[in-house]
Structure 1
Amino acid sequence: MGKYDLNGRELVITPSPFGLVLELKNAVIKALTERKLSAGSTVLDALNGKTELSPEMLDGFLQAILAVAGNSEVERLLMECAKRAYIGINKDKIDADYFDEVNNRRDYYPIMFNVLKENLEPFFAGAASLFPSLEKAATTNDQK
Protein backbone atom coordinates (compact mmCIF):
# COMPACT_ATOMS: atom_id res chain seq x y z
CA MET A 1 0.00 0.00 0.00
CA GLY A 2 1.35 3.40 -0.95
CA LYS A 3 0.67 6.69 0.81
CA TYR A 4 1.24 10.01 -0.95
CA ASP A 5 0.73 13.65 -0.03
CA LEU A 6 -1.46 15.42 -2.54
CA ASN A 7 -2.01 19.09 -1.75
CA GLY A 8 -2.08 18.41 1.97
CA ARG A 9 -4.39 15.40 1.68
CA GLU A 10 -3.29 11.81 2.05
CA LEU A 11 -3.75 9.63 -1.02
CA VAL A 12 -3.75 5.93 -0.18
CA ILE A 13 -3.36 3.42 -3.02
CA THR A 14 -3.82 -0.31 -2.59
CA PRO A 15 -2.20 -2.31 -5.42
CA SER A 16 -4.68 -3.88 -7.80
CA PRO A 17 -5.07 -7.61 -8.52
CA PHE A 18 -2.25 -9.18 -10.52
CA GLY A 19 -4.31 -9.82 -13.67
CA LEU A 20 -5.49 -6.21 -13.90
CA VAL A 21 -1.98 -4.89 -13.33
CA LEU A 22 -0.62 -7.17 -16.08
CA GLU A 23 -3.20 -5.68 -18.45
CA LEU A 24 -2.14 -2.18 -17.39
CA LYS A 25 1.57 -2.97 -17.82
CA ASN A 26 0.98 -4.38 -21.30
CA ALA A 27 -1.20 -1.42 -22.32
CA VAL A 28 1.49 1.07 -21.20
CA ILE A 29 4.19 -0.85 -23.07
CA LYS A 30 2.00 -0.98 -26.17
CA ALA A 31 1.25 2.77 -25.97
CA LEU A 32 4.97 3.56 -25.73
CA THR A 33 6.08 1.18 -28.46
CA GLU A 34 3.34 2.29 -30.87
CA ARG A 35 4.81 5.78 -30.66
CA LYS A 36 8.35 4.31 -30.76
CA LEU A 37 9.10 5.73 -27.32
CA SER A 38 10.84 4.25 -24.32
CA ALA A 39 11.38 5.29 -20.75
CA GLY A 40 15.15 5.04 -20.46
CA SER A 41 16.95 4.49 -17.17
CA THR A 42 17.96 8.15 -16.94
CA VAL A 43 14.32 9.25 -17.17
CA LEU A 44 13.30 6.62 -14.63
CA ASP A 45 16.05 7.83 -12.28
CA ALA A 46 14.76 11.39 -12.67
CA LEU A 47 11.22 10.27 -11.88
CA ASN A 48 12.46 8.60 -8.72
CA GLY A 49 14.42 11.69 -7.67
CA LYS A 50 17.84 10.04 -8.13
CA THR A 51 18.94 12.54 -10.78
CA GLU A 52 17.82 15.83 -12.27
CA LEU A 53 15.54 15.82 -15.31
CA SER A 54 17.68 17.58 -17.91
CA PRO A 55 16.27 19.70 -20.76
CA GLU A 56 17.39 16.99 -23.22
CA MET A 57 15.27 14.40 -21.41
CA LEU A 58 12.25 16.66 -21.05
CA ASP A 59 11.02 16.35 -24.63
CA GLY A 60 11.17 12.53 -24.63
CA PHE A 61 9.64 12.44 -21.18
CA LEU A 62 6.71 14.66 -22.24
CA GLN A 63 6.21 12.57 -25.38
CA ALA A 64 6.07 9.42 -23.25
CA ILE A 65 3.55 11.01 -20.86
CA LEU A 66 1.35 12.07 -23.77
CA ALA A 67 1.55 8.64 -25.38
CA VAL A 68 0.43 6.96 -22.17
CA ALA A 69 -2.02 9.63 -21.00
CA GLY A 70 -3.67 9.79 -24.41
CA ASN A 71 -4.26 6.07 -24.68
CA SER A 72 -7.89 5.16 -23.92
CA GLU A 73 -7.03 1.58 -22.88
CA VAL A 74 -4.39 2.79 -20.40
CA GLU A 75 -6.87 5.38 -19.10
CA ARG A 76 -9.60 2.75 -18.65
CA LEU A 77 -7.26 0.39 -16.81
CA LEU A 78 -5.87 3.18 -14.60
CA MET A 79 -9.40 4.16 -13.60
CA GLU A 80 -10.12 0.53 -12.73
CA CYS A 81 -6.95 0.37 -10.61
CA ALA A 82 -7.78 3.72 -8.99
CA LYS A 83 -10.98 2.27 -7.53
CA ARG A 84 -8.79 0.73 -4.82
CA ALA A 85 -7.55 4.17 -3.73
CA TYR A 86 -8.96 6.87 -1.50
CA ILE A 87 -8.03 10.42 -0.55
CA GLY A 88 -8.41 12.75 2.40
CA ILE A 89 -9.83 12.43 5.89
CA ASN A 90 -13.24 11.45 4.48
CA LYS A 91 -11.55 8.65 2.50
CA ASP A 92 -13.15 9.75 -0.77
CA LYS A 93 -13.04 6.87 -3.22
CA ILE A 94 -11.16 7.55 -6.45
CA ASP A 95 -13.54 6.79 -9.29
CA ALA A 96 -15.32 8.61 -12.11
CA ASP A 97 -17.74 10.18 -9.60
CA TYR A 98 -14.79 11.72 -7.74
CA PHE A 99 -13.71 13.49 -10.94
CA ASP A 100 -17.27 14.64 -11.72
CA GLU A 101 -16.50 17.33 -9.14
CA VAL A 102 -14.73 19.92 -11.30
CA ASN A 103 -12.35 20.98 -8.50
CA ASN A 104 -11.07 17.41 -8.23
CA ARG A 105 -10.02 17.26 -11.88
CA ARG A 106 -6.77 19.11 -11.11
CA ASP A 107 -5.80 16.00 -9.15
CA TYR A 108 -6.43 13.62 -12.06
CA TYR A 109 -2.87 13.35 -13.40
CA PRO A 110 -1.12 13.37 -10.00
CA ILE A 111 -3.45 10.62 -8.78
CA MET A 112 -3.18 8.53 -11.94
CA PHE A 113 0.61 8.88 -12.01
CA ASN A 114 0.78 7.52 -8.47
CA VAL A 115 -1.68 4.72 -9.29
CA LEU A 116 0.52 3.79 -12.24
CA LYS A 117 3.68 3.96 -10.16
CA GLU A 118 2.23 1.97 -7.26
CA ASN A 119 1.04 -0.81 -9.54
CA LEU A 120 3.91 -1.07 -12.03
CA GLU A 121 6.99 -0.30 -9.96
CA PRO A 122 7.10 -3.77 -8.33
CA PHE A 123 7.47 -5.38 -11.77
CA PHE A 124 10.69 -3.50 -12.46
CA ALA A 125 12.19 -3.23 -8.97
CA GLY A 126 14.19 -6.46 -9.24
CA ALA A 127 14.56 -6.73 -13.00
CA ALA A 128 18.16 -5.49 -13.05
CA SER A 129 19.23 -8.35 -10.79
CA LEU A 130 18.30 -10.78 -13.57
CA PHE A 131 21.05 -9.32 -15.71
CA PRO A 132 24.29 -9.02 -13.68
CA SER A 133 25.99 -6.82 -16.27
CA LEU A 134 23.09 -4.33 -16.12
CA GLU A 135 23.11 -4.36 -12.33
CA LYS A 136 26.87 -3.70 -12.33
CA ALA A 137 26.45 -0.85 -14.84
CA ALA A 138 23.66 0.68 -12.75
CA THR A 139 25.79 0.48 -9.60
CA THR A 140 28.76 2.03 -11.42
CA ASN A 141 26.56 4.88 -12.73
CA ASP A 142 25.12 5.49 -9.23
CA GLN A 143 28.64 5.94 -7.84
CA LYS A 144 29.52 8.69 -10.36
Structure 2
Amino acid sequence: MTLSDVTPIVVGLLALAGALWQGRRPRFDTRDRLRRDLDLLAAMPDDLAVKAAYAQHISEAFDDLIRQEDKLTRNMSAVFVDLSIASLGGWLTWLAWKEGGSFRELENDMRWGLTASLGHFLLVAGIVAALVHVRKRHRDEGGRTIVREDLPRSD
Protein backbone atom coordinates (compact mmCIF):
# COMPACT_ATOMS: atom_id res chain seq x y z
CA MET A 1 0.00 0.00 0.00
CA THR A 2 1.48 3.33 -1.05
CA LEU A 3 0.98 6.79 0.37
CA SER A 4 -1.28 7.72 -2.56
CA ASP A 5 -3.59 4.83 -1.64
CA VAL A 6 -3.87 5.90 2.00
CA THR A 7 -4.25 9.67 1.44
CA PRO A 8 -7.96 9.64 0.37
CA ILE A 9 -8.83 7.47 3.37
CA VAL A 10 -7.05 9.80 5.80
CA VAL A 11 -8.66 12.89 4.23
CA GLY A 12 -12.09 11.27 4.46
CA LEU A 13 -11.58 10.33 8.12
CA LEU A 14 -10.40 13.86 8.95
CA ALA A 15 -13.43 15.35 7.19
CA LEU A 16 -15.73 13.01 9.14
CA ALA A 17 -14.02 13.94 12.42
CA GLY A 18 -14.39 17.64 11.60
CA ALA A 19 -18.08 17.23 10.83
CA LEU A 20 -18.63 15.39 14.11
CA TRP A 21 -16.73 18.08 16.01
CA GLN A 22 -18.80 20.87 14.43
CA GLY A 23 -22.00 18.99 15.21
CA ARG A 24 -21.13 18.91 18.91
CA ARG A 25 -20.48 22.66 19.13
CA PRO A 26 -23.56 24.59 20.28
CA ARG A 27 -24.93 26.99 17.68
CA PHE A 28 -26.26 29.48 20.22
CA ASP A 29 -27.09 29.71 23.88
CA THR A 30 -30.78 30.35 24.49
CA ARG A 31 -30.23 31.37 28.10
CA ASP A 32 -27.79 34.14 27.14
CA ARG A 33 -30.15 35.37 24.43
CA LEU A 34 -33.07 35.43 26.89
CA ARG A 35 -30.91 37.26 29.44
CA ARG A 36 -30.12 39.93 26.83
CA ASP A 37 -33.81 40.11 25.89
CA LEU A 38 -34.76 40.68 29.54
CA ASP A 39 -32.16 43.45 29.82
CA LEU A 40 -33.55 45.05 26.68
CA LEU A 41 -37.11 44.75 28.00
CA ALA A 42 -36.09 46.40 31.28
CA ALA A 43 -34.45 49.25 29.34
CA MET A 44 -37.60 49.94 27.29
CA PRO A 45 -39.80 52.82 28.44
CA ASP A 46 -43.17 51.77 29.88
CA ASP A 47 -45.18 53.80 27.37
CA LEU A 48 -43.71 51.96 24.37
CA ALA A 49 -46.44 50.14 22.43
CA VAL A 50 -44.40 47.01 21.65
CA LYS A 51 -43.24 46.40 25.22
CA ALA A 52 -46.18 44.11 26.08
CA ALA A 53 -45.77 42.13 22.85
CA TYR A 54 -42.02 41.79 23.49
CA ALA A 55 -42.69 40.60 27.05
CA GLN A 56 -45.11 37.99 25.64
CA HIS A 57 -42.45 36.89 23.13
CA ILE A 58 -39.90 36.45 25.95
CA SER A 59 -42.44 34.49 27.99
CA GLU A 60 -43.06 32.12 25.06
CA ALA A 61 -39.29 31.70 24.60
CA PHE A 62 -38.98 30.70 28.28
CA ASP A 63 -41.81 28.19 27.82
CA ASP A 64 -40.01 26.72 24.79
CA LEU A 65 -36.76 26.47 26.78
CA ILE A 66 -38.48 24.63 29.61
CA ARG A 67 -40.21 22.27 27.16
CA GLN A 68 -36.90 21.58 25.39
CA GLU A 69 -35.13 20.75 28.66
CA ASP A 70 -37.94 18.41 29.68
CA LYS A 71 -37.48 16.34 26.50
CA LEU A 72 -35.39 13.20 26.63
CA THR A 73 -32.88 12.81 23.78
CA ARG A 74 -30.07 10.47 22.78
CA ASN A 75 -26.46 11.45 22.10
CA MET A 76 -26.30 9.93 18.63
CA SER A 77 -22.89 11.37 17.71
CA ALA A 78 -21.35 9.58 20.71
CA VAL A 79 -23.19 6.37 19.75
CA PHE A 80 -21.74 6.66 16.23
CA VAL A 81 -18.20 7.08 17.61
CA ASP A 82 -18.71 4.17 20.03
CA LEU A 83 -19.94 1.88 17.26
CA SER A 84 -16.99 2.96 15.10
CA ILE A 85 -14.63 1.93 17.90
CA ALA A 86 -16.47 -1.39 18.23
CA SER A 87 -16.18 -1.88 14.45
CA LEU A 88 -12.45 -1.20 14.63
CA GLY A 89 -12.18 -3.78 17.41
CA GLY A 90 -14.13 -6.30 15.36
CA TRP A 91 -11.90 -5.64 12.36
CA LEU A 92 -8.73 -6.10 14.44
CA THR A 93 -10.10 -9.36 15.84
CA TRP A 94 -10.96 -10.56 12.33
CA LEU A 95 -7.52 -9.50 11.07
CA ALA A 96 -5.77 -11.40 13.86
CA TRP A 97 -7.89 -14.48 13.11
CA LYS A 98 -7.32 -14.27 9.34
CA GLU A 99 -3.60 -13.47 9.39
CA GLY A 100 -2.58 -15.23 12.57
CA GLY A 101 -4.65 -18.37 12.26
CA SER A 102 -6.58 -19.97 15.07
CA PHE A 103 -6.35 -18.64 18.59
CA ARG A 104 -4.25 -21.65 19.63
CA GLU A 105 -1.63 -20.55 17.10
CA LEU A 106 -1.87 -16.92 18.23
CA GLU A 107 -0.18 -17.85 21.49
CA ASN A 108 3.00 -18.64 19.54
CA ASP A 109 3.08 -15.25 17.78
CA MET A 110 2.90 -12.39 20.27
CA ARG A 111 2.02 -9.80 17.61
CA TRP A 112 -1.25 -11.47 16.60
CA GLY A 113 -2.08 -12.26 20.20
CA LEU A 114 -1.78 -8.57 21.11
CA THR A 115 -3.81 -7.60 18.04
CA ALA A 116 -6.57 -10.00 19.02
CA SER A 117 -6.52 -8.78 22.63
CA LEU A 118 -6.70 -5.14 21.56
CA GLY A 119 -9.49 -6.01 19.13
CA HIS A 120 -11.51 -7.74 21.84
CA PHE A 121 -11.00 -4.83 24.23
CA LEU A 122 -12.08 -2.22 21.65
CA LEU A 123 -15.06 -4.33 20.61
CA VAL A 124 -16.36 -4.73 24.16
CA ALA A 125 -15.53 -1.13 25.18
CA GLY A 126 -17.28 0.28 22.10
CA ILE A 127 -20.42 -1.78 22.66
CA VAL A 128 -20.59 -0.91 26.37
CA ALA A 129 -20.05 2.81 25.67
CA ALA A 130 -22.74 2.74 22.95
CA LEU A 131 -25.18 1.17 25.39
CA VAL A 132 -24.41 3.94 27.90
CA HIS A 133 -24.78 6.76 25.36
CA VAL A 134 -27.91 5.46 23.65
CA ARG A 135 -30.05 6.08 26.76
CA LYS A 136 -32.37 9.06 26.58
CA ARG A 137 -31.44 11.88 28.95
CA HIS A 138 -32.27 15.53 29.59
CA ARG A 139 -29.84 17.61 27.50
CA ASP A 140 -29.11 21.27 26.82
CA GLU A 141 -28.65 22.77 23.34
CA GLY A 142 -25.04 21.64 23.20
CA GLY A 143 -25.99 18.01 23.86
CA ARG A 144 -24.54 17.96 27.37
CA THR A 145 -26.49 16.06 30.02
CA ILE A 146 -28.46 18.24 32.41
CA VAL A 147 -28.21 17.06 36.00
CA ARG A 148 -30.81 18.73 38.19
CA GLU A 149 -32.65 17.51 41.23
CA ASP A 150 -36.07 18.78 40.11
CA LEU A 151 -36.07 16.82 36.84
CA PRO A 152 -37.52 13.30 36.86
CA ARG A 153 -34.82 10.65 36.52
CA SER A 154 -34.67 8.63 33.32
CA ASP A 155 -33.31 5.52 35.10
TM-score above 0.5, yes or no? no
Larger Rg: 2
TM-score, normalised with respect to structure 2 = 0.24
- Name the TM-score, length of structure 1 as normaliser: 0.25
